[in-house]
Structure 1
């Protein structure tokens, strides 16, 4: 990702927002407001509800309105790639961007920090985790799963098993990411967990208001690292059962916090600390 926008090129407090639809539920504004206050930095971070048909126009206007960047969430993470002037290799590989920098000349630079946030969360809460110790198993093949796949492979996972309710989506990811991926039928998810030392739920199943994740966990290895991208609730039924089976569990909130840190540093010039206070603020 490119360097922070020099303060000398900003004539007022820098503006940043999170673009999505809907966006009122986003925890990012309170997190960034906390970091701005903590470090005594000028700036504002705000929710920006944008319909898909208005995205291109909004992205042209924001740099002229004093914005130095933006986060991007559903449903715009794929569309911004076609609207950006430059795209990082990892954003192109994942097929989505979540972090934008508006350069002084108005050009838009797009990056994806979701994979970074995923790995940083594991490293923080499971410092002894060894990605190459055994196979990893990934449940789900949506947009978030692509970032997880890229980051796990980059971290040294030698075999990555993946299952999705629609098998074709998992097959598409394998076609793009290569031979280290092994696709399982959804009905075989329980078998996919056999011998896996890292297990990830990248679906929204188990989230408050969603259907539960009904996956047999009998084959889970005691001592395996199990994580869920869902963080409402923090301790999902999936994590609770894994913990009861002797697994080390990591909730999904830290991924949200860590993926936000690189953008904050580029926009406001300070690397923020992801600590218990940041978690408390994000949970509201």
Structure 2
């Protein structure tokens, strides 16, 4: 039996153990999965522990997504671009490979809501999850992206990534929207990559919008932003499922065909009691 876990702080709210256990039961894969609260200062020690031959890998969440990057033996091109990982794969030789499946999670969640192409999406925030959202925008065929942030001086990484992906990026501070009338009117898609409750104070400034909102937060749910939204809302649980499907593929080493992927995805949705479509 190999070990796997989700690492973060705080971690008690995480639904990852429920999702992964459902997948490994379906696949009859000998992998146990738990949640481990880990402080960034403990990351080097844990990375070393992963090399002892008993681990398949780890899911990584806040505030560790960039902390583990320099501790990997190799990272994917996506991790190199984003500067953040959410997945550690332990290879048979004990080496550690860093991957980021958040982009696949975002795109897969939107596909479930029939969003397959978007031209000018908006991203709330500019942190690690916002970077994944920008790459998801590129995957959906966007030409540009608007970033709405608390502090424009902290959005350089996001702007640089957008440029590297061929997207035109504009940056607006949330306090600048207070004087605008319906600043999100006509938006087809908005990503909120803000931590739980962080967008609560933004609701009035953002105003009404009838486009799709993908809010990566899922605890508590609905967020104040999701509750006030006038269009379709996709909770972070949908993203969580699809990024976890990719992690399960990497941890088991099974080459998912279309049927296997579908079955694993549905098993994860069922484990949450969540409707997959719409």
Whether TM exceeds 0.5 here: the answer is: yes
Q: Does 1:249 align with 2:233?
A: yes
Deviation string, structure 1 residues 79-137 (Cα, Å, up to 9, x no partner): 1110111111111111110111111111110000111101110111x2154313xx211
TM-score by length of 1: 0.82
Cα distance change, pair 104–156 in 1 and its aligned pair in 2 (3 A): same
Give the counterpart of 1:279 among 267, 272, 278. 272
Moved more, 210-219 or 265-274: 210-219
Q: Does 1:149 align with 2:149?
A: no
- What is the 5 A alignment of 1:185-264? 185-189=173-177, 192-204=183-195, 206=197, 211-218=200-207, 220=209, 222=210, 224-243=211-230, 247-264=231-248
Give the counterpart of 1:86 among 74, 83, 87. 74
Cα distance change, pair 38–184 in 1 and its aligned pair in 2 (3 A): same
1:41: how far off?
Answer: 2.7
* Structure 2, gaps ≥5 residues long: none
* Structure 1, gaps ≥5 residues long: 1-12
Cα distance change, pair 174–118 in 1 and its aligned pair in 2 (3 A): same
Q: Does 1:267 align with 2:251?
A: yes
Q: Does the CA-based 8 Å contact 2:213-2:234 persist in structure 1?
A: yes
Cα distance change, pair 54–235 in 1 and its aligned pair in 2 (3 A): closer
TM-score by length of 2: 0.84
Segments of 4+ moved more than 4 angstroms: none
Number of aligned residue pairs: give it.
260
Q: Does the CA-based 8 Å contact 2:4-2:56 persist in structure 1?
A: yes
